[in-house]
Amino acid sequence: MKITDIRATTVTVPLEAPLRHANGCHWGRFVRTVIEVETDEGLVGLGEMGGGGESAEAVFRAMKSYLVGHDPARLEEMRFLIANPTASLYNNRTQVLAALEFACLDLLGQKWGVPVYDILGGRLQDRVPFASYLFFRYPNPRTGAGEVRTADQLVALARELKERHGFTSHKLKGGVFHPDYELECYRALAAEIGKGGDSFRFDPNGVWSTERAIRFGQQIEDIRNDYLEDPVYGMNGMRRVREKVRMPLATNTVVVNFEQLAANVLDTAVDVILLDTTFWGGIRPCVKAAGVCETFQLGVAVHSSGELGIQLATMLHLGACIPNLSFAADAHYHHLTDDIIEGGPFKYAGGSIRVPDGPGLGVRLDRDKLAEYAEAYKRLGGYPYDQDPLRPGWTPTIPNNRWADPEDSRTPTAAGF
């Protein structure tokens, strides 16, 4: 089988409400690039990457000169072709490689008539458990609904999601408001939702000082925490927090490649590695990293960098085949209102999603949805992920001390939604 063409289409799919985070905001929708890799046997493999627009589409077009005529089974060769580590000093293509790896695995699965998890060692579980992934949210500019700013609103959303999807693990994304205010919200969440033994995790995206992180960590030690995620940015700060706080620390920011994983094994700063199929350059590097974590008995979970159904499928195949997935996975997915895959969005049941067992990734494009959301992208364009629509001029420093005001109940204008 030989690759004959690579197509990239940028789409934007609405969220229920804008998601606030420590570095800015998802302004009410996700922008994603959908990749189609075509072969001489008529098969089309699917990939997905975060962000998009002309520059992302041009990057994938440029990959045709590397990959047309290439056998999609030669994945290790493709790794060096696209993302040789020294050449990557000049061009950072890890995320591009990831999207192409997804598509090639999808092609191989289709050709061989097996799901991707069978190529990766076989399925250990039929369903992957997910955490509720709660965000502080602005109201939806069209409907005024969906705001999460107060502890009551947070608990109400968690309760609704638990009822609807069955989550038993809950993650709160913080780093938006003053840590004392977020502590109140987190404690309210644990008190109201945790009565039946549910577990919790908090992620301020690394924006606290080390001392603040220690203080916050010590004040939540009585909660049933899965872990505290990226309380500070940097291995040395994480190591200092870990000495003083009695719970596991997790990261998706300071251990995102094998060099960093090795450094963390030699001088441990983080207990749980959150594997992201995009950040690590594909599903296979995540499986390899999970093997290293298994050897050194570090915890593993699946990270979400914001996904549509193709990327979610990569997370499900990863979660299905690693033996040491010791925590529920994260997904932004339930905040989306729609998807671009056939049959509509994946469904949660009992807090988990069934791993697709069709050939390849097990998802196919809904052409009408793809066209609809590609058209929406053309109309709306991108949005700055690292800016907040209602805080112009704000710079998210690390450590941060410029918090949003929890009394501010404004709604962003509808422009750009």
173 is catalytic: yes
How far CA 123 is from CA of 103, 128, 316, 322, 354, in Å, comes to: 20, 11, 10, 8, 12
CB atoms within 10 A of CB 235: 18
* Burial profile 288-307: b = 16 or more Cβ within 10 angstroms, e = fewer: ebbebbeeeebbbbbbbbbb
Q: Which of 26, 170, 303, 332 is catalytic?
A: 303
Which residue, 115 or 306, has its beta carbon nearer to Mg ion? 306
Kindly tell me which of 10 and 95 has the beta carbon lying closer to Mg ion.
95
By CB under 5 A, which span of 88-96, 174-182, 231-239, 245-253 interacts with Mg ion?
245-253
Dihedral, 387, 388, 391, 394 alpha carbons, nearest 10: -30
Reported in sequence order, the residue ranges of 123-168 that DSSP labels E, i.e. its strands, are 127-129, 134-137
Min dist CB 253 to Mg ion, Å, is 7
Between 175 and 282, name the residue whose CB sits nearer to Mg ion.
175
Nearer to Mg ion, 171 or 284 (CB): 171
N- to C-terminal Cα distance for the chain? 42
Count of other CB atoms within 10 angstroms of residue 341: 24
Nearest to 135 by CA among 194, 54, 203, 219: 203
The window from 60-68, 94-102, 192-200, 222-230 that contacts Mg ion (CB under 5 A) reads: 222-230
311 part of the interface to Mg ion, by CB under 5 A: no
- What is the closest distance, in whole angstroms, from the C-beta atom of residue 304 to Mg ion in the complex? 9
Pick from 110, 140, 225, 252 the residue near Mg ion by CB under 5 A.
Answer: 252
Residues 58-97, one symbol each (x = binds Mg ion by CB under 5 A, - = not), give ----------------------------------------
Is the alpha carbon torsion for 239, 240, 245, 250 positive or negative?
negative
Q: What 3-state class would DSSP assign to 232?
A: strand
Stretch touching Mg ion by CB under 5 A, among 206-214, 251-259, 345-353, 383-391: 251-259
- CA-only gyration radius of the chain, Å: 21
Cβ at position 274, least distance to Mg ion in Å = 6
Distance of CA 40 to the CA centre of its chain: 33
Query: Shortest approach of Mg ion to residue 22 CB, angstroms?
Result: 9
150 versus 305: smaller Cβ distance to Mg ion: 305
Strands 225-229 and 199-203: parallel
Which residue among the candidates 173, 317, 332, 335 is catalytic per the annotation?
A: 173
- Specify the residue, 252 or 278, whose C-beta has the smaller distance to Mg ion: 252
Number of residues that bind Mg ion (CB under 5 A): 3
Query: What is d(CA 87, CA 84) in angstroms, rounded to the nearest whole number?
Result: 5
- Closer of 274 and 404 to Mg ion (Cβ): 274
303 catalytic residue (yes or no) = yes
Neighbours of 310 (CB within 10 A): 25
Considering only 87-95, 155-163, 228-236, 320-328, which stretch makes contact with Mg ion by CB under 5 A? 228-236
CA–CA gap between residue 280 and residue 255 (Å, rounded) = 10
Least distance (Å) between residue 128 CB and Mg ion: 18
CB of 204 to Mg ion, least distance (A): 9
Query: Least distance to Mg ion from the beta carbon of 216, Å?
Result: 15
By CB under 5 A, residue 276 contacts Mg ion: no
Q: Residue 203 interacts with Mg ion (CB under 5 A)? A: yes
Cα separation values, 243 from 101, 106, 214, 269, Å: 38, 43, 9, 9
Among the residue ranges 24-32, 107-115, 134-142, 248-256, the one whose residues contact Mg ion (CB under 5 A):
248-256
The site for Mg ion (CB under 5 A) is made up of: 203, 229, 252
Residues carrying an active site annotation: 173, 303
